[in-house]
Amino acid sequence: MPEIVEKINDVPLASPITRKSRAQQTNYGLYSHICGTNISYGNVSCLTSSVKAFVEESIALCQPDQVHICDGSDVENKMILRIMLEEGTIIPLPKYENCWLARTNPADVARVESRTFICTENIDETIPTPKEGVRGTLGNWISPDDFQQSIHGRFPGCMKGRTMYVVPFSMGPLGSPLSKIGIEITDSPYVVASMRIMARMGTPVLDQLRKQDEFIRALHSVGTPLNGILEYFSWPCDPERTIILHNPSENLIVSYGSGYGGNSLLGKKCFALRIGSTIAKREGWLAEHMLILGITNPDGEKKYITAAFPSACGKTNLAMLNPSLPGYKVECVGDDIAWMKFDTEGVLRAINPENGFFGVAPGTSLETNPIAMATIFKNTIFTNVAYTSDGGVYWEGMESSLASGVQITDWLGKPWTKESGRLAAHPNSRFCTPAGQCPIIDLHWEDPQGVPISAILFGGRRPVGVPLIYEARSWSHGVFIGAAMRSESTAAAEHKGKAIMNDPFAMRPFFGYNFGHYVKHWLSMANRGKVPKIFHVNWFRKDSNGKFVWPGYGDNSRVLEWILRRCNEEHCYIDVAIGKIPAKSALNLNNMKEVTDYEELFSLPKEFWLQETAEIRAYFESQVGSDLPQEIYNELSQLRERVAQI
Ligand code: GTP
Ligand code: SPV
Ligand code: MN
């Protein structure tokens, strides 16, 4: 380990490190003060007056020992890594280049929906009114008074003994008309290092702010002040008091108590989806939980597609698809979030607001996602995966690339073998890696104008009844399909077990405003430009033995091929009760490794669909009521009539 530390900072590490020696060591910047607090790094004169005001307010509230204004440089990154090494937050992975493993407190491993709130004057701006006696599941509202109280009950003095980092970041390519800027203030070096990967971060963002002084304020604390304790927690957090707050009218995000993923990397779900969706509604565009990919057919014709699947349901994998169909090429624009807006010609264009991938590790392997495997073994922060005695990482799915004779230590730091009977990596363990490293990153992934979108896919984990693919009959039918989405729960959130849950538009945890109003906004997009075709896919149907009937991954290119043909209006479909499905001869099943049965993939069990439509109705009526546009109820009634004819 000392060798690695030397490598990252060219300065030998004195030990043991105390807080005081840290403050001295990190004093790289101009020596100055802000609000009487020492600036340990960075230059306060780079800040616009409104950024400075936000920093000053945050200092007064959180009372950090010192302030670090991030420039995004390599030197700075090495410093941050070094701090994390000293505190035991990360360990080096010498098998790879500049890769690190963080292991969190086991109580801080995923997003916490139950502690995530949107603040508006009136509750019905945030959530639809559920039927009497029913608990609403489409987001949590907090009143402006409780919002203030939640902050004042947690934040005063919460950064005592710690460094406050000021992280300027841009969601989307700097200067693009579709991009937006944020300032995240955090006391977590893990957040700083991760934000540097996930967003464009540092001095260029401050330069841009001097041209357009408009930004989202995001305040984050792990909630573990060091009141005179000369001791570090390797993963500081306060799970008992964790809270994630959004105030759309003030463009403000406040997050306390968690250091993990979407709870703390505030550019991602909090900004790009929750606050983003409220801005998008106001400005007439869409902020969605969607991957963006480009696909080129053997004739060289290229189209871009977006797809919304719930968390841990296959976005990263589809975005990096390695087609099994010869002659096809997939290129990746983004794997989690899409911001889409009509251009002046009425073409819907999408950007990926992110700069990196925060992808699910388990299940990622040379067999399933070789492109991800070619992306993630340099400049990457892994979290909650297992590690190997030869300085590498390990998780469920990596069995075939495990060298013989190596020992494995699980994500909790305990020795692990295949016989241990428990998981080596946490099921929501992740890699955080720069998007630019992806070998199939699209040439236009940073195009400030975005890429033109031809099709939108919805999908989820549906073990029974739902066919591999079907196409919506119209835009409003497609919007209905998005609203009616359901999927088996996964480890990406706090839910236990494998219940089928409603997850409309894969956005249930991420709506920034009333879902009924969101659907209305989606319907209205048809008046703004040429809307893409909408499809629903399901890679996860199972047979009576519980085995997936579709091999998925690279073979999903066969489904994309049919989608491309449909985008060209080829008559390669049949009409069925739920929409259009591929005609038997139109889905290319040639040369598949496993035999696949068309009937098994496309059968529409009448009983299932009668029940499905009844459950969708019960959901809409009990959760959304009159906030859901009548057009959507009409689509449901029409579907029900068609299902009755099966
Ligand atoms: P978030 O980052 O949480 O939003 O997740 P995601 O939607 O990007 O999911 P991801 O692509 O990381 O996939 C999650 C899990 O689904 C992994 O374990 C994958 O191996 C598995 N998976 C992805 N695609 C397929 C598929 O086509 N078939 C099957 N059977 N499993 C898949
Ligand atoms: C998701 O859960 O959809 C993620 C991971 O992409 S997190 O950033 O933690 O929300
Ligand atoms: Mn996601």
Q: How much is the pLDDT for 230?
A: 52
Task: Name the residue with the closest Cα to ligand 1, atom 24.
Answer: 314
> Long-range contacts of range 89-94, CB-CB < 8 Å, 24 or more positions apart?
89/189, 89/190, 89/234, 89/235, 90/190, 90/381, 91/1, 91/387, 92/1, 92/4, 92/391, 93/382, 93/387, 93/391, 93/392, 93/393, 94/4, 94/391
In 3D space, the residue among 407, 637, 423, 458 whose CA is nearest the CA of residue 563 turns out to be: 458
Residue given tokens 């008091």 in the structure block: 241
Strand partners, 431: 359, 382
Mean pLDDT for the stretch of residues 367-384: 97
Predicted confidence at residue 10, as pLDDT, reads 38
The answer for residues whose C-beta is within 8 angstroms of residue 414's C-beta and 6 or more apart is none
For ligand 1, whether the C-beta of 355 sits within 6 Å is no
Residues 482 and 458 sit within 8 Å (Cβ to Cβ)? yes
* 3-class SS shares of the chain: helix, strand, coil, % to 5: 30, 25, 45
Query: Nearest 5°: phi and psi at 578?
Result: -95, -5
Which two three-digit tokens encode residue 369? 């996602």
Q: What is the pLDDT of residue 496?
A: 67
Q: Tell me how far apart the alpha carbons of residues 108 and 421 are, in angstroms, rounded to a whole number.
A: 23
Question: Which pairing describes strands 37-41 and 66-69: parallel, antiparallel, or unpaired?
Answer: parallel
- Per-residue pLDDT of 89-109, as tens digits, reads 999 999 999 999 999 999 999
Ligand approaching nearest to the C-alpha of 360? 1
Residue identifier of the C-alpha nearest atom 10 of ligand 2: 262
Average pLDDT over residues 374-392: 98
The angle at the Cα of 587, spanning 583 to 589, to the nearest 5 degrees, equals: 135
**Mean of pLDDT values over 258-280:** 98
285 Cα–ligand 2 center, Å: 22
Ligand nearest to the CA of 560: 1
How far, in Å, from the CA of 457 to the mean position of ligand 1?
A: 15
How many other C-beta atoms lie within 10 A of the C-beta of residue 579? 22
Write out the DSSP string of 583-629.
-TTTS--TT-SS---HHHHH---HHHHHHHHHHHHHHIIIIIGGGS-
Both structure tokens of 201 = 């971060």
Residue with tokens 């993630």: 376
Kindly list the protein residues whose Cβ atom lies closer than 6 A to any atom of ligand 2.
111, 261-262, 268-269, 311, 336, 358, 492
Q: Which residue has the tokens 């944020």?
A: 182
State if residue 554 touches ligand 1 by the CB under 6 angstroms criterion.
no
pLDDT score, position 231: 59
Q: What is the pLDDT of residues 208-249, one digit of tens each?
A: 999 988 999 999 999 999 976 555 689 999 999 999 999 999
Closest-lying ligand 2 atom to the alpha carbon of residue 311: 3
Residue 144 reports pLDDT greater than 80: yes
pLDDT for 526 equals 98
Residue 403: what pLDDT? 86
As a whole number of angstroms, the longest Cα–Cα distance in the chain is 77
Query: Which residue's entry shows tokens 């840290």?
Result: 22
The Cα–Cα gap between 55 and 217 comes to 10
Give the mean pLDDT of 510-530.
98
Res 473 pLDDT > 90: yes
CB atoms within 10 A of CB 402: 14
Q: What distance in Å separates the CA atoms of residue 627 and residue 629, rounded to the nearest whole number?
A: 6
What value does the mean pLDDT take over residues 300-319?
97
Half-sphere exposure of 403 (CA within 13 A, CB side): 11
DSSP for residue 413: S
From the number of C-beta atoms within 10 Å of its C-beta (0-12, 13-18, 19+), residue 200 rates as: buried
Distance CA 136, CA 51 (A): 37
Nearest CA to ligand 1 atom 17: 363
Q: What is the pLDDT of residue 492?
A: 72
Distance, CA of 456 to CA of 419 (rounded, Å): 43
Confidence at residue 319, expressed as pLDDT on a 0 to 100 scale = 98
Q: Tokens 């463009």 label which residue?
A: 251
Name 382's bridge partners.
101, 431
d(CA 629, CA 480): 10
User: Which residue's entry shows tokens 């540097």?
Assistant: 196
Lowest mean pLDDT across 272-281, 379-388, 490-499, 574-583: 490-499
Supply the mean pLDDT for the chain.
93
Give residue-wise pLDDT tens across range 5-60: 334 433 333 333 444 444 444 444 456 899 999 999 999 999 999 999 999 999 99
Q: Which of 82-91, 414-423, 432-441, 494-503 has the lowest mean pLDDT?
A: 494-503
Q: 164-178, 345-359, 480-494, 560-574 — which is least confidently predicted?
A: 480-494
How far is it, in rounded angstroms, from Cα 307 to Cα 336?
A: 9
How many other CB atoms are found less than 10 A from the CB of residue 126?
26
* Cβ neighbour number for residue 499 with a 10 Å cutoff: 10
SS3 291: strand
Query: How confident is residue 493, by pLDDT bands cut at 50, 70 and 90?
Result: confident
CB atoms within 10 A of CB 594: 10
Our mutation pick for probing the ligand 1 site, out of 313, 366, 396, 438, counting the most ligand atoms within 8 A of Cβ, is 313
Q: In angstroms, rounded to a whole number, what is the distance separating the alpha carbons of residues 556 and 369?
A: 12
Q: Which residues pair with 339 in a beta bridge?
A: 287, 351
CB 523 within 8 A of CB 635: no
Cβ contact 193:80 at 8 Å: yes
Q: Which of 347, 635, 348, 634 is nearest to 473 (CA)?
A: 635
Listed range (29-33, 65-69, 640-644) with the worst mean pLDDT: 29-33
Residues with catalytic annotation?
313
- Which H, E and C letters describe 107-144, residue by residue? CCCCCCHHHEEEECCCHHHHCCCCCCCCCCCCCCEECH
- Nearest Cα residue to atom 21 of ligand 1: 314
Instruction: Match 């464009």 to its residue by tokens.
Output: 200
Whether residue 314 has its Cβ less than 6 Å from ligand 1: yes
Provide the token pair at 92.
């080096």
Mean pLDDT lowest for which of 345-349, 353-357, 499-503, 563-567? Answer: 499-503
* Element housing 409 (H / E): strand 408-409
Ligand 1 atom with the smallest distance to the CA of 360 is 12
Give me ligand 1 centre to Cα 359, in Å.
Answer: 9
CA dihedral defined by 404, 406, 412, 417, rounded to 10 degrees?
A: 50
DSSP per-residue letters across 545-576: TS-BSS--GGGHHHHHHHHHHHHTT---EEEE
How many percent of the chain have pLDDT more than 90? 90
